[in-house]
């Protein structure tokens, strides 16, 4: 139960960071579809992704390898990636 | 690599031993302000377009007249160009680079591009003025003094004519290409350009595939260029649009690909995100080929130190430079320079660093080890 809540909270926090850093309009963390493709549907580019990755590194105390960027295509996948890093 | 400990995350007194948090790097107001300034332009997504197969001069070592692109059947239909630009805009391209062979010969095509996508730059030899209503940045290529231009480009009084066409034009950036042969004469060219209030950035001759002529750089000429560019930076702080990190990145024995990993499709198989996904290089017949796509096609990738390539490749490596304040300042200087060179109306700030910093993961090459000290 707690694990599911942690996951949901993390998804919301990542969405919040995404919205703040990329100045996305007309969307809130709660309304941000975690399965939306960030490149195709949100329209983020490599510079946006790098910016968000730097902030996420600070937030969670992890290192996000540059080579892993291509995997981080949705908020949910980013949340799972972070979870994996935290468990290492 | 997994989670870092708090101790590892905290910046230590010796930054070489600590790992800097991005937020700690940004705690410096000077860095924060520059970061906020440059990141507003992260929306720029480029592609490049050969506008015609024709040119009014023939330069030694010209990348355009290498490979197949020069032989395509040129599309002169303005409606086709307009439709192409509309499709490009639709797929997210926000910045056009109009290049080969000589865009000033087809101003109507340039105008159509500008009307559809208002951000862009035109690479020209500057002998024919591009009409002012095409409000792109205009890059005028300079390969030395007039004697050298006559010899290498077969054009008389080139600099004089370029200045006559673009003096006082806010679109104009003169691009001095250092070759193995013209390093010393940059001083007289810079004097002339600065006296006329012209802004100047520098480029490095990057050999086309198979070219082994006298313009190709060697270790000595790279070193000489580095020292010369540093002198110019001190002498022309207003007219010179570059930084110490531009010098460091473009005068290494290794080319840009070896230093940073080229992000253009020709050298980057990934289509996940970034240039590998979005960048196209259209030929004058409006076709493109992913395997050949980069900003200077038919350049020998091992020898590529081209300023246009660097603008994208170095900028894209934000992550690698966000390791400590000094390295990040170097990257910010580079990006601030790139934006001043490529974006209409962007004002370059004062460089944050006054000394050379090496690309991440690389040490100074032995002949230049003494340049690591502050000037």
CATH of the domain at B316: 3.20.20
For B60-71, how does the pLDDT look when each residue is reduced to its tens digit (9 = 90+)? 777 777 777 788
**Which residues on chain B are in Cβ contact (under 8 Å) with A63?**
1-2, 4
Q: Is B315–A47 a contact, with Cβ atoms under 8 angstroms apart?
A: yes
Specify if B15 maps to a domain.
Answer: no
Task: Give chain A's domains with CATH numbers.
Answer: 2-87 (1.10.1200.10)
In this predicted structure, the answer to whether residue B72 has a pLDDT above a threshold of 90 is no
pLDDT the model gives residue B133: 98
pTM: 0.90
| Residue given tokens 């390093």 in the structure block | B183
Specify if B139 maps to a domain.
Answer: yes
Mean pLDDT score across all residues of chain B:
88
| Residue given tokens 């940073």 in the structure block | B260
Q: How confident is the model at residue B374 (pLDDT cuts 50, 70, 90)?
A: very low
Specify if B119 maps to a domain.
Answer: yes
Nearest to A45 among B42, B320, B322 (CB): B42
Specify if B16 maps to a domain.
Answer: no
Asked casually if ipTM beats, i.e. exceeds, 0.85, the reply is yes
Angstrom CA distances, A51 to A56, B84, B122, B319, B345, stand at: 9, 31, 29, 8, 25
Segments in B180-218 forming alpha helices (H): 186-195
Specify if B331 maps to a domain.
Answer: yes
**Which residues on chain A are in Cβ contact (under 8 Å) with B319?**
50, 53-54, 66
User: How many degrees, rounded to 5, is the angle at CA B10 between CA B246 and CA A74?
Assistant: 70
d(CA A85, CA A72): 13
Show the domain range for B32: 21-372
User: Over its length of 88 residues, how does chain A's per-residue pLDDT go in tens digits?
Assistant: 587 888 899 999 999 999 999 999 889 999 999 999 999 888 888 899 999 999 999 999 999 998 898 889 999 999 999 999 999 8
In this predicted structure, the answer to whether residue B173 has a pLDDT above a threshold of 90 is yes
Count the Cβ atoms, other than its own, within 10 Å of residue A58: 17
Specify if B5 maps to a domain.
Answer: no
Domain count, chain B: 1
pLDDT the model gives residue B12: 35
| Residue B40: closest C-alpha in chain A | A22
Tell me if chain A has a CB within 8 Å of the CB of B362: no
Count the Cβ atoms, other than its own, within 10 Å of residue B322: 23
d(CA B244, CA B331): 10
Tell me if chain A has a CB within 8 Å of the CB of B94: no
């Amino acid at each position: 139960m707690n694990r599911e809540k942690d996951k949901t909270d993390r998804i919301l926090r990542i969405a919040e960071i995404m919205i703040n850093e990329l100045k996305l309009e007309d969307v809130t963390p709660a309304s941000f579809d975690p399965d939306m493709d960030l490149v195709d549907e949100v329209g983020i580019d490599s510079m946006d992704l790098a910016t968000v990755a730097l902030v996420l590194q600070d937030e969670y105390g992890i290192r996000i390898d540059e080579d892993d960027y291509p995997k981080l295509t949705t908020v949910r996948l980013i949340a799972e990636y972070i979870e994996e890093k935290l468990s290492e | 690599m997994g989670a870092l400990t708090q101790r590892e995350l905290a910046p230590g007194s010796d930054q070489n031993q600590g790992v800097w948090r991005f937020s700690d790097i940004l705690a410096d107001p000077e860095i924060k302000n520059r970061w906020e300034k440059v990141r507003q332009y992260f929306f720029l997504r480029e592609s490049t377009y050969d506008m015609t197969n024709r040119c009014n001069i023939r330069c030694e070592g010209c990348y355009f007249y290498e490979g197949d692109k020069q032989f395509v059947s040129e599309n002169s239909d303005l409606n086709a160009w307009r439709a192409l630009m509309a499709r490009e805009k639709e797929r997210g391209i926000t910045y056009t680079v109009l290049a080969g062979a000589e865009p000033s010969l087809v101003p109507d095509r340039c105008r159509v591009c500008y009307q559809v996508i208002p951000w862009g730059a035109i690479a020209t030899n500057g002998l024919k003025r591009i009409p002012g209503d095409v409000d792109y940045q205009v890059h005028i290529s300079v390969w030395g003094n007039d004697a050298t231009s006559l010899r290498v480009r077969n054009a008389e009084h080139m600099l004089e004519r370029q200045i006559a066409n673009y003096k006082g034009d806010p679109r104009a950036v003169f691009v001095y290409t250092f070759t193995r042969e013209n390093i010393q004469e940059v001083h007289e060219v810079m004097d002339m350009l600065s006296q006329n209030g012209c802004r100047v950035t520098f480029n490095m001759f990057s050999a086309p595939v198979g070219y082994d002529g006298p313009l190709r750089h060697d270790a000595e000429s790279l070193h000489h260029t580095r020292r010369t560019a540093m002198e110019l930076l001190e002498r022309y702080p207003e007219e010179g649009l570059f930084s110490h990190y531009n010098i460091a990145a473009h005068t290494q024995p290794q080319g840009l690909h070896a230093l940073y990993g080229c992000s253009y499709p020709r050298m980057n198989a990934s289509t996940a995100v970034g240039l590998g996904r979005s960048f196209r290089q259209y030929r004058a017949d409006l076709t493109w080929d992913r395997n050949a796509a980069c900003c200077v096609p038919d350049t020998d990738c091992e020898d590529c130190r081209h300023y246009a390539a660097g603008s994208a490749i170095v900028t894209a490596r934000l992550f690698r430079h966000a390791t400590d304040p000094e390295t990040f300042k170097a990257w910010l200087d580079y990006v601030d320079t790139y934006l001043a060179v490529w974006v209409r109306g962007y004002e370059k700030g004062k460089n944050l660093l006054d000394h050379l910093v090496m690309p991440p993961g690389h040490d100074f090459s032995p002949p230049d080890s003494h340049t690591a000290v502050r000037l």
